[in-house]
Amino acid sequence: MKKKPLLLSLLIAFTSFQVAAQHTDSVAVTTTPEATPATGALSINGYVDAYYFNNFNNPQSGLNRGRIFDLPTNTFSLGLVQTMFTYTYGKSKVVADLTYGPNADLGNFGNYRSLNTNQDNITSSSFAIKQAYLSYNITDKLAFTIGQYGTHIGYELIDAPLNFNYSLSYLFGNGPFYHTGAKFDYAVNDKLGLMVGVVNGWDMLMDLNKQKSVTAQVHLAPVEGFHIYANYIGGDEHDGKSYFGSIKGSRTNLWDLTTSFQASDKVKFGVNAAYGAYSTGAKIVDDTDPYSEDATWKGGAVYLNFAASDKFGLGFRAERFEDPSGVRYFGPFKGNEFTLTGDIKLADGHFNLKPELRIDTAKDKYFEDTNGNLTKKSQVTIGAAFIYTFDFTPGK
C-alpha cells in the first residue's frame, strides 16, 4: 500500500523541479499482477555552503578581484544550495541536479531563457538547472547521454564538497562550466575510456549562433590510483555568453590535461594544464576590440592533498595563469596564486569546516585598493568555508 504514494511523490518531485542525488538504492516500483516485478533506484543528495573571507587590500567594491564564486569580502556569504535527484532503472538513468543561491546564478549564467518579451522584469527558472540529462547504456561498454551536463574540462568542479580547496582556480574560472548537447562514452577496457560529443558550446542552454562545438576526451588509467584525462572542446563561440566576441566564423579551441595520483591513503597529487586559442577568421583588426585578432591563453596548476587523519587534512594548490590579450573573463592578466586549505570533518563527515589562506600575485597592477583603483600587484585573503552535505534514499 505504500508503493503508490511513493511513486506519486516522485512524479510530483520531478514536475516541481526538485533535485536529485548520486547514490542509489533499490526502490520498489508498482506493477500489474501479470507483469514481472521491476525495480528502480532513487537517491537524493546535495549540500549547502556558506563562507566568510577577508581581503587585506580592503577593496572599495567589497569584491575579491579575479575570483569565480567567492567574490564578496568581509561579509558572511551564502554559496550554493544543491539538491540532486538520480533515478536509475535497468540500463537507463535520469538526473535532475538543481541549485540555488548566488553561486548558482554565477555558475548557471548561460541558462537564462524566457518566451516573455519583457525579459528584464522576470527571473528564468532555468537558472536553477545545473544538470538535467538522460543516459542509456547501449551495451556494457557504450553509453549515450543527452541534456545539460557538467563539463569534462579541468580538475575542479562547481560542487564545493568535491574540491579540496574552497576558492577556485583561474583555470576553472576561464574554462567552461557545463554543456548542453549529446555525447557517447566508450569503455575500451578498464585502462582506456573515450568520449566524443556535440554541444551548443560553452555554458549555453540555447545555441545563440547556430554553430555547434565538438567535445572529446581520452581517459587513461595505467595503474591503480593514477588517472590521466586529455580533454578538448572546439568550435565557433561567437555571440555566446562566454565572451568570445561577435565575429562570425571565429573559432575557439581549448586543450586540457588533467591527472591525479593517489600515492597512498594519505597523499594525493594532481596536475592541471590548459591551452586555449582564439582565431578571428577575419583580417580586420580593431584596437578597441580584443576579439578582432587571434589570441591565446594558458595556465597550469599542481595540487597536493594530505590526510593527517580521518578528521583533518591539508590541501595546497599552486597555479600560474596567463591571458595577455584579455580574451577571457578577467581581462589582460599574468599571475600566480597559492592556496592553503584545511579540512576539518565533523558530524561523521557531513559537516566540513575549511579554513583557507590564498595569495594572488600579478605581473602588473591588477588588484583593487581601498579607493577602488587597480594599484595592487597582490591580493591576500583569509577566512573559512562551511559545507554541509546530505544524502537520502527513500524507503530506507
Residue 72 is classified by DSSP as B
Could you report the per-residue pLDDT of 335-363, keeping only the tens digit for each?
Answer: 999 999 999 999 999 999 999 999 999 99
395 confidence band (pLDDT: 50, 70, 90) = confident
Ramachandran angles phi, psi of 13, nearest 5°: -60, -45
* pLDDT confidence bin for 11, thresholds 50/70/90: very low
For 213, residues 6+ apart whose C-beta sits below 8 A from its C-beta are: 179, 198, 199, 200, 201, 202, 233, 234, 235, 236, 237, 252
Residue of 339, 252, 364 lying closest to 297 (CA atoms): 252
**In whole angstroms, what is the distance from residue 228 CA to residue 243 CA?**
29
CATH number for 3-31+41-392: choose from 3.30.1330.30, 1.10.3720.10, 3.30.70.1560, 2.40.160.10: 2.40.160.10
Surface-to-core class of residue 95, CB atoms within 10 Å of its CB (0-12 exposed, 13-18 middle, 19+ buried) = buried
**Is the model more confident about 226 or about 237?**
226
Radius of gyration of the chain from its Cα atoms, rounded to whole angstroms: 22
Percentages helix, strand, coil for the chain, rounded to the nearest 5? 10, 50, 40
What is the spatial distance between Cα 343 and Cα 306, in angstroms, rounded to a whole number? 10
Check if the beta carbon of residue 310 is closer than 8 Å to that of residue 225.
Answer: no
Name the nearest CA neighbour of 278 among 262, 297, 306, 257.
297
Residue 391 phi/psi, 5-degree rounding, is: -145, 145
Question: 157 with 331: CB under 8 angstroms?
Answer: no
Region 174-196: what's the mean pLDDT? 96
CA distance 108 to 212: 19
| Longest alpha-carbon distance in the chain | 76
Cell 537564462 -> residue: 112
Residue 70, phi-psi category: left (phi > 0), alpha (psi -120 to 50), beta (remainder): beta
The mean pLDDT of the chain is: 86
Place of cell 562550466: 177
Residue 140 · residue 188 · CB < 8 Å? no
CA-closest candidate to residue 237, choices 256, 218, 210: 210
Q: What is the spatial distance between Cα 189 and Cα 173, in angstroms, rounded to a whole number?
A: 33
Closest by CA to 112, choosing from 97, 98, 129, is 129
Residue 134: enclosing H or E segment and its boundaries? strand 129-137
Q: How would residue 120 be classed by pLDDT, with cut points 50, 70 and 90?
A: low
Q: Give residue-wise pLDDT tens across range 26-53.
A: 333 344 445 555 688 999 999 999 999 9
Q: What integer pLDDT is reported at residue 326 of this predicted model? A: 84
Other Cβ atoms closer than 10 A to 346: 12
- For position 294, what pLDDT does the model report? 83
What does the alpha-carbon distance between residue 220 and residue 39 come to, in Å, rounded to a whole number?
A: 34
Provide the grid cell at 94: 535520469
Residues pairing with 352 in the sheet:
345, 387
Q: What is the pLDDT of residues 240-294, one digit of tens each?
A: 555 566 666 678 899 999 999 999 999 999 999 999 998 887 666 666 666 668 8
Cell matching residue 98: 538543481
Rounded CA gap, 189 and 126, in Å?
37
The enclosing H or E element of 105 equals: helix 102-107
